[in-house]
Amino acid sequence: MGEIKSTLELVMERTRGMVQSREEREQDIFRERARKAAVLAEKHLSGETGLAAFVERLDALSGREPGFDARAAARLHLARTLPLDGAEGKTALAALACLGSPHVREMEEAMEKMAGETEEAEKQAEARLAAELAGRGISGSAAVLRPRTDPGYEKARAAIRERARARIARLAEAAGQDTPRAGY
């Protein structure tokens, strides 16, 4: 004859694999805190909060969550998701500098190098297009050059951006390793 089990015993059997270990719970809590820091960073990048308010909110988050460095989590998020150009990229770099990121100058240099290489690729595409049109007898004001429509330019631009993104990613990882428990 079968064993009669209480409801509690049945529930415990069915949920045995669903219970998190202490380490898993701590990791989940840490990831949630890091997500909160990332949300604050995104609000700053979108212009919803100024730099001072952003830092103040990060410090408040660190104060509410003992043992958690919200600035480090925000630094890592900003470095990993750094926009490569435009005002948002400059905003992110300013925030990284304010938060004490050790690699801001190198990130700026990578972005400047990318901009310079992109400009050079555009000039080369323009020269190719001008030569092609001149070969067809089109020159002067009749020659409308649109280097950004050149497939060679787009390939070169994608490669340039990928190299910059890889360099910044290496710097972001280095920044994460400089900070205890900053990875998420």
Q: 177 near 112, Cβ under 8 Å?
A: no
So what's the pLDDT on residue 103? 86
pLDDT, tens digit only, all 184 positions of the chain: 567 777 877 777 777 666 677 888 888 888 999 999 999 999 999 999 999 999 999 999 988 877 889 998 998 888 888 888 788 888 999 999 999 888 889 988 988 999 999 999 999 998 888 888 888 888 877 778 888 888 889 999 999 999 998 888 888 777 655 443 433 3
Task: For residues 43 and 183, give the distance between their C-alpha atoms in angstroms, rounded to a whole number.
Answer: 21
What pTM did the predictor assign?
Answer: 0.69
Degrees, nearest 5: CA angle 96-98-104: 40
SS3 17: helix
CA end-to-end span of the chain, whole Å? 51
Residue with tokens 């949300």: 39
Distance set, CA 176 to CA 52, 64, 78, 101, 169 (Å): 23, 22, 11, 10, 10
So what's the pLDDT on residue 16? 67
So what's the pLDDT on residue 162? 92
Characterize 145-183 residue by residue with b for buried, 16 or more Cβ atoms within 10 angstroms of its Cβ, and e for exposed: eebeebeebeebbeebeeebeebbeebbeebbeebeebe
Q: 62 near 71, Cβ under 8 Å?
A: yes
So what's the pLDDT on residue 183? 39
So what's the pLDDT on residue 139? 80
Question: pLDDT of 14-56, one tens digit each?
Answer: 776 666 778 888 888 889 999 999 999 999 999 999 999 999 9
So what's the pLDDT on residue 184? 36
Q: 175 near 150, Cβ under 8 Å?
A: no
Eight-state DSSP code of residue 149: G
Task: For residues 168 and 81, give the distance between their C-alpha atoms in angstroms, rounded to a whole number.
Answer: 9
Task: For residues 115 and 166, give the distance between their C-alpha atoms in angstroms, rounded to a whole number.
Answer: 15
Q: Six-digit token pair at 127?
A: 């020269």
Task: For residues 171 and 165, give the distance between their C-alpha atoms in angstroms, rounded to a whole number.
Answer: 10
